[in-house]
Amino acid sequence: MPLFSIIIPTYNVESYIARCLDSCINQTLGDIEILVINDCGSDDSISIAKTYASKDSRIRIIHNPTNLGLFATRITGEKEAQGTYILHLDADDYLTLNACERAYQKASMALNSTPLSSNTQSHSEQEEKNLPDIIHFRPAYRGSSQASLSANCLHKLRYILPTRFSHKPLQNEQIAYNFFLKSTQFPKFTLWDKCYKTSLIRQILPFMECFIPLKLTMAEDMLKFFAISALAKSYVSLDERLYIYCLNHSSITQNIKAKDKKIADMCYISEALPSLATQLEQNTKSTKSPSLMPQIAKRLCHNLTALIILESRFDTSYTTADSTNSLDSALTTLNQTLAPLLESHLIAPVRIPRFIPSSILKHSPYLRACILSLQYWNRCLTYVRICAYLLSFGRVKL
């Protein structure tokens, strides 16, 4: 059984797949498998992957019956994985060459055993059972010359802004608390900057099956890590940048045309979180605080509401000569968008903060969205957006 299963969802990434696979086959830890999941794209990505697979038996190519989207494609790989750990890798990103070795050395140190080298055999079954459920590491962020200056600036800000990274080992409810409740720092919902015990991932899959038909394009990592953190029993971290996250200007999460789908996904997940929290609580029994997961679900609903509001920051529909009607129309539209969450009493209606003169919000959809989002999530990045906009006299919109 390999130590790591690297899962690579593949859809129209012919420009990047070779770089991604090179970073996998040249890992200093050789005891890995590489699962390329074909999500039925239209370019030569899979042809390139087949060439690599013909030269390296560790590469397996798995074909989806039809295009299923990233969320379902990752699940396909998770069901096929044979390794002790699962590592998610997007095909337009890549790993440092020592990523798997350093992650497993950290895991084996948690057992007070000698760190593994690239040619060390697997731990015994009992030792493997005691390995940490989650290994968290740092990402590095690489910009793109094809993307806009503002997109590159926003990408690089991820280096600077603090995130919820724990240097100390965590156990049981400490894991969920650290990532979702401990502070207002940016939550690391991302799946790709962590390794997970395959046995843990298999535990959460039954809770994820109902979301597969939705083809989620937004907040799917938040949803999945919410479940992972509820069931995980141990966490360790490695303060090294092992994953290179590359800005892809054409990716779906960067595509403004996908705005309506992103909003729909975030609304659906917000509605689903309280029910999912109850199911996870019942599954974890006495290993977690009985009030923790519902509390986290409520926090995440507010986080998602802020993100939904921020989606309107580039909307110029309400910049009319009648600025009063423009502001009223914008508020009405936002509350209509959030109607399912309001009806479920998950959030309060969007309101103009008393300490902000309404005149400030009338003429700038960008500034309005940023300020209104703060009532749901007091987020550092939003303040950066506001400052950049004001200092540039409205020219910089992140």
DSSP per position, 115-182: PP-TTPPPPPHHHHHTS-SEEEEEEEEE--TTS-HHHHHHHHHHHHS-B---SS-EETHHHHHHHHTS
Backbone angles phi, psi at 93, to 5 degrees: -115, 180
> Is the pLDDT assigned to residue 254 strictly greater than 60?
no
Helix ranges, the chain (H) = 17-25, 45-53, 70-80, 99-109, 125-129, 149-160, 173-180, 198-208, 220-231, 259-284, 292-310, 323-337, 339-343, 358-362, 365-373, 380-391
The answer to whether the beta carbons of residues 335 and 350 sit under 8 Å apart is yes
Query: What is the set of domains in the chain, with CATH numbers?
Result: 4-257 (3.90.550.10), 259-391 (no CATH)
**pLDDT for position 118:** 46
Which 3 state secondary structure label does DSSP give 376? coil
134: pLDDT confidence band, cut at 50, 70 and 90?
very high
SS3 319: coil
More confident of the two residues 47 and 165: 47
HSE-up of residue 161 (Cα within 13 Å, Cβ side): 21
**pLDDT at 144 > cutoff 90:** no
Out of 176-190, 206-220, 312-326, least confident range: 312-326
User: Cβ distance 244 to 142 under 8 Å?
Assistant: yes
**Per-residue pLDDT tens digits for 214-237:** 999 999 999 999 999 999 999 999
> What is the three-class DSSP state of 377?
coil
pLDDT score, position 128: 77
pLDDT of residue 282: 85
Confidence of residue 115 (pLDDT cuts 50, 70, 90): low
Q: Are 154 and 270 in contact (CB under 8 A)?
A: no
Q: Does residue 367 have a pLDDT over 80? A: yes
Q: Which amino acid appears at position 147 of this protein? A: A
* Residue 183 DSSP one-character state: -
Q: Which of 197-201, 325-329, 349-353, 373-377 has the lowest mean pLDDT?
A: 325-329
Q: Does residue 333 or residue 359 have the better pLDDT?
A: 333
Kindly state the average pLDDT of the residues 282-288. 65
pTM for the structure as a whole: 0.90
C-alpha to C-alpha distance for 273 and 294, rounded to whole angstroms: 8
pLDDT band at 287 (very low <50, low <70, confident <90, very high): low
Specify the amino acid at residue 331: L
Percent of the chain whose predicted confidence (pLDDT) is above 70: 85
Report which of residues 308 and 123 the model is more confident about.
308
Mean pLDDT of 297-320: 85
**Is pLDDT of 371 > 60?**
yes
Write down the pLDDT at residue 252.
46
Query: Where do we find the tokens 């396909």?
Result: 76
pLDDT, one tens digit per residue, over 274-283 is 999 999 988 8
The helix or strand, by DSSP H or E, that contains position 62, with its residue range, turns out to be strand 59-63
pLDDT, mean of residues 297-319: 86
Q: What is the mean pLDDT of the chain?
A: 88
Tell me which of 29-33, 49-53, 266-270, 332-336 is least confident: 332-336
For residue 76, the model assigns a pLDDT of: 98
What average pLDDT does this structure show over 334-360?
89
Predicted pLDDT at 321: 46
What percent of the chain has a predicted confidence (pLDDT) above 90? 65
